[in-house]
Amino acid sequence: MTIRKELAEKKLGNVNKDYELTIEKLQRKLEEAHNNYKKKEKEFEETLDHLQTDIDSLENEKGEMKEKLKLLSKKAQIEVSLPKSISGSQLSSLQSIGPTLPAVVKDSPLLMQEIDNLKRLFHQERNERIKLQNQKVKEQLDTLTPLPSFKNDRDEVLENLFKEGATLKKEILSALTKSSFPPMYKVKPGNGAEAWRRHFLEERDRILSLKLKAVQFQAKVAAETIKRKRGGKIEADFTIFPTKEMAKALTETKSVKVGYLKIPKSCLPTNEKPRIVNLELDFENLQKILKTLLQ
């Protein structure tokens, strides 16, 4: 029973190791995808920074152009307000300041169109990059192996066997650790030996009962193991054939000593002498005898 338990624990440990390795692989792939996403995000931010720098420089140029236009408009107004009788030298000195322009100041259409184009390009580039990044991450997640799903189906047979084994173990340990004595204060004088004999018989019956429970429990575990283990039986559409090992165990003819039963001398007939009697029993008759003795 201990060996089966250790084998089951070893198999469970191997399964847990396989699941841990699978989870580690998935974690590494997820980290790689995350690193790629960070890298693409960094490149996207750098592109956005460049575009923002271009937009800022164009805005600065626009402001400078506005200032120049205002300055030129002021010069034109000064030239218009001067009297026509001004001398040629003074006119030439005023004309040296700069060319004449109309008084109305307007933004350059080409400059405004360039700014609008850059803004549209910036938003279009950003949306396209976000779309591509989301699509790539989704493809990477789709290619990953799905996480294993653990079924929560309860196996009532195994649970009952575990509970029964734990109860039996508790009873056996309690019987081994707790010692009991007959209540001598209730025994009449001269009946002490009989009280001790009765006590020993009860203790022996209790030990035999625990042994019988242990044998029955082992038989249940063995039967359930044969059902669940591959190779313990051969299934067919019309019947189930036992394996060679099982057939050999079923056809075993050699007797095996399982125990002995000591009958007190006081229970024997007067003319019967103590002797050893060998009984060859099958499993069913052995169970019947044990049940009769325990009643």
Provide the b/e sequence for 58-95 (b: ≥16 CB within 10 Å).
Answer: beeebeeeeeebeebbebbeebeeeeeeeeeeeeeeee
Same-domain pairing of 33 and 71 = yes
Does a structural domain hold residue 150?
Answer: no
Does a structural domain hold residue 43?
Answer: yes
Residue-wise pLDDT tens digits, 259-270: 777 877 777 777
Q: What's the confidence (pLDDT) of residue 80?
A: 61
Residue-wise pLDDT tens digits, 70-86: 888 777 777 666 554 44
Same-domain pairing of 103 and 37 = yes
Two tokens at 245? 């090992």
Same-domain pairing of 167 and 51 = no
Read off the amino acid at residue 199: H
Same-domain pairing of 130 and 188 = no
**CA dist., res. 5 & res. 10, Å (int):** 9
- Return the SS3 of 242: strand
**CA dist., res. 255 & res. 60, Å (int):** 109
What is each CA distance from 183 to 164, 175, 206, in whole angstroms? 32, 18, 18
More confident residue, 84 or 129: 129
Does a structural domain hold residue 2?
Answer: no
Same-domain pairing of 124 and 188 = no
Same-domain pairing of 184 and 250 = yes
**pLDDT classification of 100: cutoffs 50, 70, 90:** very low
Q: What's the domain count of the chain?
A: 2
The reported pTM is: 0.30
Same-domain pairing of 108 and 202 = no
What is each CA distance from 122 to 37, 49, 125, 133, 223, in whole angstroms? 20, 10, 5, 17, 74
Does a structural domain hold residue 9?
Answer: no
Residue-wise pLDDT tens digits, 207-262: 888 889 888 888 888 888 777 766 555 555 555 556 666 666 656 667 777 777 78
Read off the amino acid at residue 33: A
Does a structural domain hold residue 199?
Answer: yes
Same-domain pairing of 161 and 83 = no
Q: Identify the domain boundary among 122, 143, 164.
A: 143
Does a structural domain hold residue 273?
Answer: no
- First and final C-alpha spacing in the chain: 28
What is each CA distance from 157 to 97, 160, 162, in whole angstroms? 106, 5, 9
* Helix or strand holding residue 233 (H, E): strand 233-235
Q: Look up the domain containing 180 and give its range.
A: 156-254
Choose from 102-111, 186-195, 206-215, 249-258 the range with maximum mean pLDDT.
Answer: 206-215
Same-domain pairing of 248 and 219 = yes
C-alpha neighbours within 13 Å on the C-beta side of residue 17: 6
Same-domain pairing of 121 and 174 = no
Same-domain pairing of 137 and 81 = yes
Q: Identify the domain boundary among 114, 143, 172.
A: 143
Q: Identify the domain boundary among 91, 115, 143.
A: 143
Same-domain pairing of 20 and 119 = yes
More confident residue, 20 or 151: 20
Does a structural domain hold residue 5?
Answer: no
Does a structural domain hold residue 261?
Answer: no
